[in-house]
Structure 1
Amino acid sequence: MIKVGITGQNGFVGSHLYHTLGLCSEEFQRIEFRKEYFETPEKLDEFVKQCDVVVHLAAMNRHQSQDFIYETNIRLVKQLVASLERTASKAHVLFSSSSQEERDNLYGKSKREGREFLINWAESSAGIFSGMIVPNVFGPFGQPYYNSFIATFCHQLTHVETPKIDNDGSVKLIYVGELVEEIIRKIRKRKNNFSYQVPHTASVKVSEVLSLLTDYKEKYFEKGEIPQLNSTFELNLFNTFRSYIVPKNYFPVKFTQHTDDRGSFVEIIRLGIGGQVSFSTTVPGITRGNHYHTRKVERFAVIRGKALIQLRKIGTDEVHDFYLDGDEPAYVDMPIWYTHNIKNIGDEVLYTNFWINEPYDPEDADTYFEEV
């Protein structure tokens, strides 16, 4: 088993890497890291000693002072190198640098020099080092006004704010899940690669991104329609957008019922994409689910009976409870990386419609079990 520690494990990329490694528990053991370790050499040494692999992601991206960004990032690398030397570590160190290395700014300079410090350590200690030069990263749970312009746009569009384009250039992007897959491939190879340009998976203008996100707001956020998704990039962008909707402020969404003397008609979902529709009956007291997805788009719609739907974001403790009643049909969508379940809390059989954007494939189910 490979023991992996991640500096910055609670950050944007770090948390995605940490939770994805948790899905491979037979191959990887995660060594816990806390940012306070950088302030205590003994704690940092204890962490490093346990690691076969150290992924150094801890860094500062934005601050009012560029000098402070530079000094912080260099200090963190130097502290890590000092610990590697004190412990005579032979760990494989992976470093997330940036495509801004060659730009005339102190953030890029801190990344370039940080990578050079780690190269020097690897050459002098016979260590293994992977210097990954990463394009712009986007994905769920990024911090607005900090991690990426996409995080900022998504936050603004879901919080009654108006996005503004300062520079409509073409941007090379990689989805955080794709970057995590790249990091894991490097961990498995365990080879020196002092300067590796991580390939981008999309190149798009800022205005094109904003146009797609605005479409998602108008169709999904305001009308509940799943938009047409024409590529993996658009699916990833849509799931990123959905992650900025606060579940407790948005769900459950009540359907419009059309009733006459024959009964009632309710439209469950309007699609710009296909997928799989199913329904279930659940007897009183039974709970279904307790699993999560990392890419799938899914909707639960209660049409008869009483249900409790619960969501909890992986890595957090807060549980969102939604009570639905077939007398007022409503739906709740399942954000990615949220474990979820549905329980019949009534006295009669619960009828639930389910829609998911891709048919079930037992060879690639994207379904991971964890109690809410």
Structure 2
Amino acid sequence: MRVVLTGAHGFLGWHTRVLLSALGHEVDAVGRDGWATLPAALQRADGVIHIAGVNRGPDDEVEQGNIRLATTLAEALRSTAKPVPVVYANSVQADNGTPYGRGKAEAARILTAATSERGAVLRDVLLPNLFGEHGRPGYNSFVATFVDHVLHGRAPEVVDREIELLHVQAAARVLVDEFTADTAGQVHPAGTATSVSFVLETLQQLEAVYRNGDMPDLTTPLVRDLFNTLRAASFPERAPIPLSPRTDDRGSLVEVVRSHGGQGQAFTSTTKPGITRGEHFHLRKVERFVVINGCARISLRRVFHSDVVSFDVNGDEPVAIDMPIGWAHNITNIGDSELTTLFWTNELFDPASPDTWPETVGQP
């Protein structure tokens, strides 16, 4: 499947693009400067996921910006020789009377008219509050703002209320899955009911545990996703995590993982000199690498970004490297002897859902 993805470089757009790529779909990524390419991209597309929008700014800019983007897409759809289905990343705030709500609602009406005229399907996905890895503080989500405060030891002001949260990868999955629909209509993905105060308290507890390299209790998906959001915001500044060997006349002992609850699975591997393992990324699982013998280079690259972050590590000075969500990673034996590495993940391996997506890191 070939998908035109508008807003491809934003928060939800990046996560959706990563998922589409992981699933083997071709993506024409349309960013702020790519709208001139839209008509040509639509000619070869199987469908559109329309995420581009304006979330913050002066009231008129927010409202009219969302309308303008939908109008541009509608005009391109009308000029295309074939009917092109559209999945629209709308919001539960549509038609709530705010400039943002009015803009999102009007955008839905514009796209409904355009797809109807062309005999195509519009799936209008009303998303609740999103959160997740690489959100911008003060822009994408209050969760991103809370994470930034917690990591820097600040206490944000809290106006407590009940709220429904949906992890951004779950939202991306809904948008991708809607391509299978053959009728137009609205979709209301369900998030997790929680409160603003619970989110802040949970992030503070996660930070208190993880600050020393321990793994918190990751039993529930919401807490796991909040933890992954926190980890992403702290990487690579807090990596690697130092481990403290305990040595006596018998030898040494190193605690590589201290888990405060939930599942977990550990395994080891040996790697011959010059060999690289890994070359993949994850969308939900927590994974830790610890070299316990030999010398290695652990390299990571955020998917669709070019910069590679590398750490040279060895078994004589053990450290932990935790893999952020959406970062391709590998480990290479750079020594002259066999490399032994211990790996830990927060979930038991499931062959039906391994959450291991191939992606080459590249050279640092």
Same fold per superposition (TM over 0.5):
yes
In 1, Cα distance between the equivalents of 2:153 and 2:92? Answer: 29
Which aligned pairs between 1:191-210 and structure 2 lie closer than 5 A? 191-193=183-185, 195-196=186-187, 198-210=188-200
The residue matched to 1:156 in structure 2 has which SS? helix
Alpha-carbon distance change, 83 to 358 in structure 1, aligned in 2, over 3 angstroms: same
Q: Which amino acid in structure 1 is aligned with residue 7 of structure 2?
A: G
Write out aligned runs for 1:143-222 (5 A).
143-158=136-151, 160-193=152-185, 195-196=186-187, 198-220=188-210, 222=211
Question: How many residue pairs end up in the alignment?
Answer: 360
> Could you say which residue in structure 2 is the equivalent of 1:24?
23
User: Which residue of structure 2 aligns with residue 100 of structure 1?
Assistant: 93
- Asked whether the equivalents of residues 174 and 189 of structure 2 are also in contact (C-alpha less than 8 Å), the reply is no
Which stretch shifts more, 283-292 or 109-118? 283-292
Alpha-carbon distance, 1:253 to partner: 1.8
Mapping of 1:1-372 within 5 angstroms?
2-25=1-24, 28-38=25-35, 40=36, 43-63=37-57, 65-158=58-151, 160-193=152-185, 195-196=186-187, 198-220=188-210, 222-247=211-236, 249-272=237-260, 273-372=262-361
C-alpha separation between the residues in 1 aligned to 2:63 and 2:101? 9
> Does the CA-based 8 Å contact 2:89-2:175 persist in structure 1?
no
| Separation of aligned partners in 2, 1:199 and 1:360 | 27
- Counterpart residue identity of residue 175, structure 1: H
Question: For residues 225-260 of structure 1, what are the alpha-carbon distances to aligned partners after superposition, in whole Å with 9 as ceiling and x for unaligned?
Answer: 11012311211221122111121x222222112222
- For structure 2, the 5+ residue unaligned runs are none
Superposition TM-score, scaled by structure 1 size: 0.92
- Relative to structure 1, the CA distance from residue 286 to residue 125 in structure 2 (aligned partners, 3 Å threshold; closer, same or farther) is closer
1:368–1:44: structure 2 CA closer, same or farther, 3 Å change rule?
Answer: closer
Q: Which amino acid aligns with 1:189?
A: A
Q: Distance in 1 between matches of 2:82 and 2:134?
A: 33
Q: CA RMSD for the aligned pairs?
A: 1.6
Q: Distance in 2 between matches of 1:123 and 1:285?
A: 58
In structure 1, what is the Cα distance between the partners aligned to 2:273 and 2:124?
A: 55
User: C-alpha distance in 2, partners of 1:311/1:29?
Assistant: 23
Residues 369 and 126 of structure 1: CA distance in aligned 2, closer, same or farther (over 3 Å): closer
Deviations 1:112-156 (A, max 9, x none): 111111122233332211111111111111111111001111222
Query: Deviating runs (4+, > 4 A) in structure 1?
Result: none
The aligned amino acid for 2:41 is F
